[in-house]
Amino acid sequence: MMAHRGQRFIVVSDNHGDMADAASVSALWSFMRDWKPEIRAHAGDAFDLRNLRKGASDDEKAASLAEDWEMGSDFLRRFFEGGTSNHFLRGNHDERIYDFRGSATGVMRDYANDGIKQLEATVKRCKAKMLPYDSDLGVLELGKLSVLHGFHAGVSACRTHAAIYGSCLHGHIHSIEMASVASREPAEARSIGCLCRKNMDYINKKTGKLRWAQGWAYGLLFPDGTYQLFQARNIGGQFYAATEIKTYGTG
């Protein structure tokens, strides 16, 4: 039995600003105090920005985003505090504020530019590197493991991501599942779950939310790029995760 020599990492996704699930977020902070990850990656949708989405209802368009911005920013500050290698990958919800930079309405352009300045200042204070929501430029490489927000949805999302990106972690679909594809090298994609509430208004009448699960991924990244991966998940209101890792073998 030997002590491990890997760097501790954690990947979270989809807290959605003021739509965050308070119990799940509280469990995350408790876990991080024990795990003390050096590498920290947020895989996107730190904010909900529901009044900027296409097809937003009149109520959503009229809603204030002040609490959404405040809670999303506070989450990022707390998540990255103490990390030595911090990364924020914008998700499709976060990207909405960037999409409105080209709005034909001056008020919306000003709002978008102010929001972008606020977000970029927050990420800078967190000493984090930010990646755009982009299928090529928005991929973080942690050794032999890729991290991305996610660009496909539905029951085949994991398999599609595995076929394109190889071994990877992603959010976006809010579920905890995995799929592998045939390859001489391991190619397995994992959806790591969400940290938001399961009963947001826009999804209430869709059965896809029944697959949603709260959780996060974490593990050890070794000098040669290999890794050991673990999944924390909400089971009956409790999160189960190993924080004391021992190494067994003759190497």
Alpha-carbon Rg for the chain in angstroms: 18
Q: Give the mean pLDDT of the chain.
A: 91
> Edge-to-edge strand order for the sheet containing 168-170?
140-142, 145-148, 168-170, 188-192, 176-180
List, in order, residues 6 or more apart from 11 with CB less than 8 Å away: 41, 42, 43, 147, 169, 192, 216, 217, 218
Q: Which helix (H) or strand (E) holds 230?
A: strand 227-235
Is residue 3 over pLDDT 60? no
At 57, list the tokens: 């209802």
pLDDT at 205: 80
Average pLDDT on 187-210 reads: 89
Burial code (b: 16+ CB inside 10 Å, e: under 16) for 171-206 equals: bbbbbbbebebeeeeebbbbbbbbbbbbeeeeeeee
Instruction: State what percent of residues in the chain have pLDDT above 90.
Output: 75
Using the predicted structure, report yes or no on whether residue 61 has a pLDDT greater than 80. no
DSSP state at residue 64: -
Average pLDDT over residues 133-151: 98
pLDDT confidence tier of residue 9, bands split at 50, 70 and 90: very high
pLDDT band at 1 (very low <50, low <70, confident <90, very high): very low
pLDDT digits (tens, 9 = 90+) for 27-38: 999 999 999 999
Reported as a pLDDT band with limits 50, 70 and 90, residue 15 is very high
Residue 4 pLDDT more than 80? no
- In angstroms, what CA-CA distances link 153 with 20, 116, 125, 156, 161? 21, 26, 32, 7, 10
Task: Tell me what the mean pLDDT of segment 130-139 comes to.
Answer: 98
Domains, the chain:
7-53+64-240 (3.60.21.10)
pLDDT surpassing 50 at residue 222? yes
